[in-house]
Structure 1
């Protein structure tokens, strides 16, 4: 990954942002590249958005499709073992895209059939089928949420924070286009079918472009960056979000390799002309002697003494106006009838409780999100609002913000509070978010004690 290649890529994209035609940029690109690493694309976008070039996140997002077309056919494929297993996150991701593409094709056929028919009864049935298929297409929201909540945090931990930010912004635009297309379909037959087709094709074009970006750029970055443990974490936490149209037919259980020091040394020596000898006593120490033309090099290893875990989670600790063990405190937090999230004073997502199973959460949280900057936990379109809330709480302009909304799909009336957490000296220590379903309280129409009489 030569720095010159990244500079050339930056130069090409800057030309594009400054008004150069897509054709001229493509020609320049083809002159310098026969293959490009997805990692290089990520680094280039990061440097471009964080430089003094004047190119903003919004600029990159607005030209996202042009960027994708620029790299089409040039991005190097990355082969990683196990990714073709039915339960591997990469394979599930691709199978979902296949199923979503098939649903898109069915919607197109139904729209064509609707346009050609003049039988009222048949039009009614076609309309019902159309809405069912649009319901399947709409499951892309699950696919996107898994991507944004499970894959993006790990990407950011490896320093690839620009592609997730751009892609999340485009995801939200696609969500909006789908809502418009579905709303138009729901107005049939009052609305002309040609208008519905137009709305749907605008959505479909952006949606299919995103599939290309996911499979040709995003997954290539992940395959180059992620370790097996990263994929395992995604696989284990995916159930909390669910899947789009398809479900895994098998659980992915990777083959794990454990190397002894001797095997690791043999692997390191493979392909080397240097001869080595090793002595390894039973206490784990070993010594390796490597012969070189100029003499011998001796490498020694002595394991550190393992210290006993001294902290006892069951021991009672002073806690507020009483005492609790860590286990008891955790149980209490998990039994509170609300979802709690704590973001510390450095704006890092530090804790959430388990008041309900992950798949029942109003705002889904998974372990992958712990340690993530709060700004990266929200869609780009909400960033300005999040920043204003945290600024007001941090600076003492407000002690809390409250908001509420009705979730029709879940049948809940959700109340959300963002409260500043301050210590005894009044110093800001973070933000506590607590979320409740208050629909049961709104449904109360009797007096408990009166009913007991």
Structure 2
């Protein structure tokens, strides 16, 4: 037996003991419990992978295909030999997966036309999506599934596509697998998704509306791709062997650096729009698109690394390597534009109300805009705000009536905090007082007014974020030294959802270790431009050791590392740094106005 063999008849505990990286793979596939303290040592000894799939409702064939893709040999009862799936007709029942689909479909005889299954209900279309995923995971190409996809999804609206993907995720299909379908959308839709504008789509045509701003940036990136990136990559492809071009190396580097600004666009989408969609029960786009955004970022980072090397040695071979990586990243970026325009933005316009769009607009300046001028100020009409308030009140009432949480509260909205808490501008602090500037917060060694406490927290030269014992973000400071943007919409949100999918397993490990008592702190440090960020997480416990939550602090320690000698007279470093930033910003603004607009 190979040392990379996964025997499905063995316990999960024994398999993870023999293959330690299997634990991470299983967690990513939807078996979250495997990471919780004690679960693997107890339940894992009695559970096999097939039993776990049955309990969780996860397709065993998808799990097997994932393991095979990671280089494992999978054996055991019910596992078919590796075979490349072919298109299969739609069955009456749920699609069982790649193996069943392959067995059910006979390869058509030479010259015979193969019928394309066409679903008539959303449920059937969802089964077709799952079937296609099994085929793609088993090695089928996009060309082998595109006819079925076009026949069933060319004329459906964005909402149904998002719901189908979300249903797959809820059923345990790994997000990485659903991302395969995300690429198929962009390749096959080619602008044919039925997204007819409705009354709710009209606000997006108003300058300053968040969707208007997203679309303006998309148009700017399309112009950048057409006018500069594509021509430069074509020039690189046409270079003669042995030739050199320092000018082209500089041009490609500039192209990449300008495209990398898309990260600002993505951050606004991920941290402002996604939270509201999740509050409306729509989780699929955030889980799938965030991962695709990261692929664009990674591709551009790789291209920039190659370009920096090519600037030192601008040979035809080096420049063509840059061009290939840049062209691939540009394709992914262009594909994401299609996904935003055809899927995400129409869905967001349907789900978000005027108050939520106002919050997205108000928080957008925290991140900024790219390749476009500062959008004009926008505010919904009083009628739209009133309708949104009535809608939220109705939803909250319905939730109270059936005993659920109910309602879609506007993130970061003002009002009474309840539970004897004192509200700050960016969160709340527990106390036995109402929220006002004169309210006193009594601590064991003194007291503050709410206004004093907030000012003190914002003056501390650290980014401070507090996450409660239920893993909800409850507070963040808002001082001058912020390293990362913090929108109001993150308040009340699961801390895991505030991080990219690729980071969520690590974040979950931090909070699980705090909760179990396995650890009391985690420390990380990363370089970002000229900054050297020192990021620390601390478990917060009461005097009896009960877990209350976690504190995150972030500090740029680069200036501290530069300190030398003694200073006994006192320096106003904070003011000097603020003036330096203001001067630097003014220079950048003047430089931006001198550059031609995209």
Asked whether the 8 Å contact 1:100–1:136 carries over to 2, the reply is: no
The secondary structure found in structure 2 opposite 1:324 is: strand
1:211 to 2:211 alignment: no
The secondary structure found in structure 1 opposite 2:204 is: coil
The within-5 A match list for 1:34-433 is 35-51=155-171, 55-69=173-187, 71-72=189-190, 73-79=192-198, 80-105=201-226, 106-116=228-238, 123-188=245-310, 189-190=314-315, 191-257=317-383, 312-356=436-480, 361-407=482-528, 409=529, 411-433=530-552
Q: CA RMSD in A?
A: 2.9
Shift of 1:175: 0.8
Structure 2 residue runs without a partner (length 5+): 1-118, 391-432, 572-598
Structure 1 residue runs without a partner (length 5+): 265-308
How many pairs were matched up? 397
Check 1:4–1:367 CA distance in 2 against 1; reply closer, same or farther (3 A cut).
Answer: farther
Deviations 1:263-298 (A, max 9, x none): x9xxxxxxxxxxxxxxxxxxxxxxxxxxxxxxxxxx
The secondary structure found in structure 2 opposite 1:417 is: strand
Shift of 1:227: 0.9
1:14 to 2:14 alignment: no
Asked whether the 8 Å contact 2:300–2:326 carries over to 1, the reply is: yes
Check 1:258–1:393 CA distance in 2 against 1; reply closer, same or farther (3 A cut).
Answer: closer
Greater shift in the superposed pair: 436-445 or 334-343: 436-445
Shift of 1:260: 9.9
Shift of 1:431: 0.7
Asked whether the 8 Å contact 1:142–1:241 carries over to 2, the reply is: yes
Greater shift in the superposed pair: 136-145 or 56-65: 56-65
Shift of 1:317: 4.0
- Normalised to the residue count of structure 1, the TM-score between the two structures is 0.80
Check 1:177–1:117 CA distance in 2 against 1; reply closer, same or farther (3 A cut).
Answer: closer
Check 1:34–1:181 CA distance in 2 against 1; reply closer, same or farther (3 A cut).
Answer: closer
- Normalised to the residue count of structure 2, the TM-score between the two structures is 0.61
Asked whether the 8 Å contact 1:351–1:370 carries over to 2, the reply is: yes
Greater shift in the superposed pair: 190-199 or 392-401: 190-199
Check 1:146–1:312 CA distance in 2 against 1; reply closer, same or farther (3 A cut).
Answer: closer
Check 1:260–1:41 CA distance in 2 against 1; reply closer, same or farther (3 A cut).
Answer: closer
Check 1:61–1:451 CA distance in 2 against 1; reply closer, same or farther (3 A cut).
Answer: closer
Shift of 1:4: 7.6
The secondary structure found in structure 2 opposite 1:404 is: strand
The secondary structure found in structure 1 opposite 2:377 is: coil
Shift of 1:393: 1.1
Check 1:131–1:71 CA distance in 2 against 1; reply closer, same or farther (3 A cut).
Answer: closer
Asked whether the 8 Å contact 1:17–1:55 carries over to 2, the reply is: no
Greater shift in the superposed pair: 249-258 or 345-354: 249-258
Shift of 1:249: 4.5
Shift of 1:400: 0.7
Asked whether the 8 Å contact 1:423–1:429 carries over to 2, the reply is: yes
| Aligned equivalents of 1:260, 1:65: Cα separation in 2 | 39
Asked whether the 8 Å contact 2:193–2:342 carries over to 1, the reply is: no
Shift of 1:24: 6.8
